[in-house]
Amino acid sequence: MKLIPCPICGERAEIEFTYGGQAGLTRPADPAATTEAEWGAFLYARENPKGMHRERWRHIHGCGQFFNLTRDTVTDRFIP
Amino acid sequence: MRFTFDGADYDARPGDTLAAALLRNKIHLMGRSFKYHRPRGVLASGAEEPNALVEIDRGGARRTPNLRATVVEVFDGMVARSQNRTPSLRFDIGAVNDLLAPFLPAGFYYKTFMWPVGAWARLYEPMIRRAAGLGRAPELADTDRYTQRFAHCDVLVIGSGPAGLAAATEAAATGIRVILCDEQAAFGGSLLSDPSEALATQLAALFANPRVTMLSRTTAFGIYGDNLVGLAERVTDHLPDPHPALPRERLWQVRAKRIVVAAGAIERPLVFPGNDRPGIMLGDAARIFARRYGANPGTNAVVVTACDTGADVARDLAASGIVIARLVDLREGFRVTGTHGRLRVSSIEIDRGGTRETIACDFVAMCGGWTPSIHLYSQAGGKPRFDPGIGAFVPGTEVTGLTCVGACAGDMPPAYRAGVAPVNAEGRAFVDWQNDVTAKDLKLATREGFRSIEHVKRYTTTGMATDQGKTSNINALGIVAGALGATIPEIGLTTFRTPYTPVTFGTLAGLSRGDLFDPVRTTPMHEWEMARGAVFEDVGAWKRARYYPRQGEDMHTAVARECRLVRDTVGMFDASTLGKIEVVGPDAAEFMNRVYINAWTKLAPGRCRYGVMLGENGFVMDDGVVGRLAQDRFHVTTTTGGAARVLAFMEDYRQTEWPELRVWLTSATEQWAVIAVQGPRARDVLMPLVDGQDISAVAMPHMSVVEGTMLGIEMRLFRVSFSGELGFEVNVPADYGHAIWEAIWDRVQVYEGGAYGTEAMHVLRAEKGFIIVGQETDGTVTPDDVGLGWAIGKAKKDFIGKRSLTRSGMTGPRRQLVGLRTDDPATVLEEGAQITATIEDRRPLGHVTSAYGGTTVGHSIALAMIEDGRARVGATLQVRMPNGAIPVHVTAPVFYDPEGARLDA
């Protein structure tokens, strides 16, 4: 079981966390102004890199906070 | 010490393994092979043993199969038995398989048992499982106790041979926390064959150091993420009469800053015809049995070697009083062409340049070189590299936080670096003893087109089963590489998976058995419900009362009676499992506006609204009544199953999209007990209990909420209805739930009412056409699809999911919620049944989502999601039931009090 560095609580076991998907997505400020394709991409298009992946985690069984981490999907290790 | 093996009585010495004790008693025949039932003895002396699998029977449920005789420690009175033989080890009728061997090559069952298809499960598989196999699984539930521990250390050293001891001693000297584990009963590894004063001193220093934890009989079976190591400690299996307070085994989950793997190396057998007879064993195993255990495997040995360790083995065996009939060095042009002896080897045939010779012997020692134990290194993500000098793989890439030392790192004396030994693949030359895979089987697999070693492994089963090919993998790779004209690195290596050696289910499960297997959530009224004979159903982790059968009632009768109570007088229902979230703050209303489809700004404090929540994809995710307690405070309810998901969803938006909103979310599910009081008499029931609160229809209309007290206890009283009748939901602090329930129960008795369960609740709501999220909806349903378009706050510019409601495909012909009636009022449709336009037409228009008999409307009812359903009201469609299609009439989804007059009573 991996250790995940929570920025508030420190390193904790993976079992305390939930995965939150790709980081850096921002909900459009005015969804009604988005095109069909833009909104579709916001809903469904996600990166699936072999290598560095910026992603969200939530320390749900701890402080409850969402935070971002970079993980190398090849080695399954977090990159500080 | 005395023990029995297959009923015969033998002597053993303290410290003996079963294999050592049997050898000292001149017993070589210890098992029958997996497929051909060939007689087998021990091949190895430790955890890598493929052959000598036995059953240890401690009586009752304590019967353990498939234990390696080379690992099992003998205790006084031990009962051991051989496996996979009928009627006896010496005469096994299964050995007929060996005569049929020409017809049972690799993959024979893929080719043979093809037809008829139905015979596989009934005939072939049970037959094969009986004929080929390992031990008998225990039939009784495990009566032993297993515990689990978590530990942290600076350095975890795995293996206590010379390299591991040196690493542990060096680490301990710096004062850091060290754990040293070894799979054997004693520490020392290879040093145990020559016990010395130095070893004793070194161990004493480690035992005396309070910062060092010494774990013997403890196998490091797996490395998981970030240096978490699983250790299986065998606590009592070696004891004749264990103290009942001790667990049988203990799982350690060790988080180590640094792991030192000192797992050593495993000797390789040689591949030649007839190399599997009892008495033919690894050279080092023979030496360990003779010197460490004083159990000479025989008196007259032939040593066959492919490297310089052969001479060492011959010398050490001779020093133990064994006659060395011949040292056969394959590097001098010799080949082994066969062996003789039915239940034990009696001679060996060798050949050099056409000159054959038969040498009599009573055991054979094979020295085929050494394979570093890189299992844990590889599990940790290391990429091994092939070392041609050793003839095996060694650690290649660096692994953060892990170091390999000693033989497992490829650090071994020149004599041990044997390269790849020559193979004589003629006849029955075994590569994998446990799976009965011969060199010919591997060559056959390559001829049949298998190229990848992973595929060869699956086809021939080489390297599988309990030993995972510890003695066979490298030899198999060499043969496959040779057959394909490739090198071993080109062929690659099969994946090393956990566990290193078999781990019991008990160790992994620990205390998570029976009642502790899965947590159960119960409401404050659970004991009461149990006492009243409620039948419960699982909803998530919750136990919910489904119905309360009276004497002689079946579910159908009980539910019908409970529904009638609510319609005619009054019923009470435990709704405590409903999810509850307190949404608080100056921006609470704005937050609610964004999260729900409804408009909240104008909802006055003291009023409630039925809220619907969508995912960003526009589909219904959850629903529930929300009460506004104050300008800045909402009491939100969710579905029972959706509570955690909804709170996490809200938190996500609160933290990451709208951090500027001043709003806080708190789960209150477990804080409030909720008692629904529903029926025409609901107000009469509650009136005397609410401490003077005015709950008249004027003061407290449908969809309102007040904070007050009930019998002096803090109360939030909602006037809401999921039954279609006049209804209230009483929220009181959970600690008072049971007491308040009893008080309401007494009042309900006055009106000849009663309790009802989730089943009646479902029927009552379906009669009203109220949906259940997850039953009418399935994650592809919009609010309009289920007739909830009215709930959308039309003036709102945005809310979660709004944009998706106008995407293409969301507005065209869609499946909509309707009701269904059958001609026969007693017919109850099948939930999930598909619906078509006609009997001939097979295109599904939708499906039945809910269906109930025992209703209060005089006929069975059903809800369904049907394409353009609202336009089909009045039409007749076909529901495809298990016994054929039956006609149904499409109706509006409300069967009872469509005007809602009873809600406002």
| Residue B137: inside a domain | no
Does A39 contact B226 at a Cβ distance shorter than 8 Å?
A: no
Q: Does A60 touch chain B (CB under 8 A)?
A: yes
Which chain A residue's Cα is nearest to B809? A36
pLDDT band at residue B131 under the 50/70/90 scheme: low
Does A64 contact B797 at a Cβ distance shorter than 8 Å?
A: no
DSSP strand pairing (B834-836 vs B876-881): antiparallel
Is the pLDDT at B160 greater than 80, yes or no? yes
Instruction: Kindly report, residue by residue over B394-411, the tens digit of the pLDDT.
Output: 999 999 999 999 999 999
Instruction: Indicate the residue of B228, B400, B804 with minimum beta-carbon distance to A1.
Output: B228
pLDDT band at residue B117 under the 50/70/90 scheme: low
What's the CA angle centered on B486, arms B482 and B491, to 5 degrees?
100
Is the pLDDT at B350 greater than 70, yes or no? yes
| Residue B421: inside a domain | no
Q: Which residues of chain B make contact with A63, given a CB cutoff of 8 A?
A: none
Instruction: Kindly report, residue by residue over B691-720, the tens digit of the pLDDT.
Output: 999 999 999 999 999 999 999 999 999 999
| Residue A47: inside a domain | yes
| Residue B149: inside a domain | no
Q: Does A67 touch chain B (CB under 8 A)?
A: no
Rounded to the nearest angstrom, the minimum Cα separation between A63 and chain B is: 12
User: How many structural domains compose chain A?
Assistant: 1
Is the pLDDT at B110 greater than 80, yes or no? no
pLDDT band at residue B111 under the 50/70/90 scheme: low
Instruction: Indicate the residue of A31, A42, A60 with minimum beta-carbon distance to B648.
Output: A60
Q: Which one of B81, B96, B131 terminates a domain? A: B131
| Residue B565: inside a domain | no
Is the pLDDT at B741 greater than 70, yes or no? yes
Instruction: State the pLDDT at residue B87.
Output: 83
Does A36 contact B797 at a Cβ distance shorter than 8 Å?
A: no
Q: Does B808 touch chain A (CB under 8 A)?
A: yes
Instruction: Kindly report, residue by residue over B799-851, the tens digit of the pLDDT.
Output: 999 999 999 989 888 999 999 999 999 999 999 999 999 999 999 999 999 99
pLDDT band at residue B205 under the 50/70/90 scheme: very high
B803, B804, B810: best to mutate for the A interface, most A CBs within 10 A: B803
Q: Does A47 touch chain B (CB under 8 A)?
A: no
- What the block records as the tokens of B626 is 């929300």
DSSP strand pairing (B754-755 vs B571-574): parallel
Instruction: Kindly report, residue by residue over B425-484, the tens digit of the pLDDT.
Output: 999 999 999 999 999 999 999 999 998 899 999 999 999 888 999 999 999 999 999 999
Q: Does A54 touch chain B (CB under 8 A)?
A: no
Instruction: Indicate the residue of B381, B617, B657 with minimum beta-carbon distance to A43.
Output: B617
> What is the CATH number for B489?
1.10.10.1100
Instruction: Indicate the residue of A3, A31, A34 with minimum beta-carbon distance to B226.
Output: A3
Q: Which residues of chain B make contact with A20, given a CB cutoff of 8 A?
A: 652
Instruction: Kindly report, residue by residue over B43-70, the tens digit of the pLDDT.
Output: 999 999 999 999 999 999 999 999 999 9
> What is the CATH number for A41?
3.30.2270.10
Q: How far is CA B334 from CA B183, B279, B355, in A?
A: 37, 21, 10
pLDDT band at residue B195 under the 50/70/90 scheme: confident
Does B226 contact A2 at a Cβ distance shorter than 8 Å?
A: yes
Rounded to the nearest angstrom, the minimum Cα separation between A37 and chain B is: 10
Reported as type and span, the H/E element at residue B382 is none
Is the pLDDT at B392 greater than 70, yes or no? yes
Instruction: State the pLDDT at residue B90.
Output: 87
Beta carbons of B675 and B730 less than 8 angstroms apart: yes
| Residue A31: inside a domain | no
Q: Does A1 touch chain B (CB under 8 A)?
A: yes
What's the CA angle centered on A47, arms A43 and A51, to 5 degrees?
160
HEC profile for B526-595? HHHHHHCCCEEEEECCEEEEEECCCCCCCHHHHHHHHHHHHHHCCEEEECCCCEEEEEECCCHHHHHHHH
Q: Of B623, B855, B611, B628, nearest to B723 (Cα)? A: B855
Query: Of residues B199 and B137, which shows the higher confidence score?
Result: B199
Q: Does B331 touch chain A (CB under 8 A)?
A: no
Distance from the first to the final alpha carbon of chain B: 86
Instruction: State the pLDDT at residue B134.
Output: 80
A66, A72, A74: best to mutate for the B interface, most B CBs within 10 A: A66
Does B656 contact A64 at a Cβ distance shorter than 8 Å?
A: no
B581, B656, B808: best to mutate for the A interface, most A CBs within 10 A: B656
Neighbours of B750 (CB within 10 A): 13
Q: Which one of B481, B505, B529 terminates a domain? A: B505
Determine the structural domain holding residue A14 and report its residue range: 3-26+36-79
> What is the CATH number for B98?
3.10.20.440
Q: Which residues of chain B make contact with A56, given a CB cutoff of 8 A?
A: 656
Q: Which residues of chain B make contact with A60, given a CB cutoff of 8 A?
A: 648
Q: Does A35 touch chain B (CB under 8 A)?
A: no
Is the pLDDT at B120 greater than 70, yes or no? no
The low-confidence residues of chain A, meaning pLDDT below 70, are: none
Is the pLDDT at B490 greater than 70, yes or no? yes
User: How many structural domains compose chain B?
Assistant: 2
A22, A26, A34, A58: best to mutate for the B interface, most B CBs within 10 A: A58
Q: Which residues of chain A make contact with B224, given a CB cutoff of 8 A?
A: 1
Mean pLDDT on B558-574: 98
ipTM above 0.85, yes or no: yes
Neighbours of B271 (CB within 10 A): 25
Q: Which residues contact B131 (CB under 8 A, 6 or more apart)?
A: B94, B97
Q: Of B527, B542, B531, B532, nearest to B756 (Cα)? A: B532
Give the three-class secondary structure for B374: coil
Beta carbons of B418 and B389 less than 8 angstroms apart: no
Q: Which residues of chain A make contact with B807, given a CB cutoff of 8 A?
A: 36, 39-40
Q: Which residues pair with B305 in a beta bridge?
A: B329, B367
Does B651 contact A3 at a Cβ distance shorter than 8 Å?
A: no
Is the pLDDT at B619 greater than 80, yes or no? yes
Instruction: Indicate the residue of B224, B652, B798 with minimum beta-carbon distance to A66.
Output: B652
In angstroms, the CA B57 to CA B62 distance is 6
Rounded to the nearest angstrom, the minimum Cα separation between B810 and chain A is: 12
Q: Which residues contact B244 (CB under 8 A, 6 or more apart)?
A: none
Q: Which residues contact B114 (CB under 8 A, 6 or more apart)?
A: none
Does A39 contact B400 at a Cβ distance shorter than 8 Å?
A: no
Q: Which residues of chain B make contact with A38, given a CB cutoff of 8 A?
A: none
| Residue B100: inside a domain | yes
Give the three-class secondary structure for B686: helix
Determine the structural domain holding residue B78 and report its residue range: 2-131
% residues pLDDT > 90 (chain B) = 90
Does B652 contact A64 at a Cβ distance shorter than 8 Å?
A: no
Instruction: State the pLDDT at residue B127.
Output: 67
DSSP per residue, B256-291: EEEEEE---EEEPPP--BTTTSTTEEEHHHHHHHHH
| Residue A7: inside a domain | yes
How many beta-carbon contacts under 8 Å exist across A and B? 50
Is the pLDDT at B119 greater than 80, yes or no? no
In angstroms, the CA A46 to CA A57 distance is 16
Lowest-confidence pick of B123-132, B141-150, B744-753, B788-797: B123-132
% residues pLDDT > 70 (chain B) = 97
Q: Which residues of chain B make contact with A31, given a CB cutoff of 8 A?
A: 798, 802-803
Judged by phi (left if over 0) then psi (alpha if -120 to 50, else beta), residue B397 lies in beta
Q: Which residues contact B700 (CB under 8 A, 6 or more apart)?
A: B694, B706, B717, B719
In angstroms, the CA B345 to CA B298 distance is 11
639-668 of B, contacting A, C-beta below 8 A: 648, 651-652, 655-657
Q: Which one of B83, B106, B131 terminates a domain? A: B131
Question: What DSSP state is assigned to residue B641?
Answer: T
Instruction: Indicate the residue of B381, B655, B804 with minimum beta-carbon distance to A66.
Output: B655
Q: Which residues of chain B make contact with A76, given a CB cutoff of 8 A?
A: 225
Query: Of residues B371 and B813, which shows the higher confidence score?
Result: B371
Neighbours of B174 (CB within 10 A): 10
Q: Which residues of chain A make contact with B811, given a CB cutoff of 8 A?
A: none
Does A2 contact B616 at a Cβ distance shorter than 8 Å?
A: no
Does B803 contact A76 at a Cβ distance shorter than 8 Å?
A: no
Judged by phi (left if over 0) then psi (alpha if -120 to 50, else beta), residue B366 lies in beta
Does A43 contact B616 at a Cβ distance shorter than 8 Å?
A: yes
Instruction: Kindly report, residue by residue over B525-556, the tens digit of the pLDDT.
Output: 999 999 999 999 999 999 999 999 999 999 99
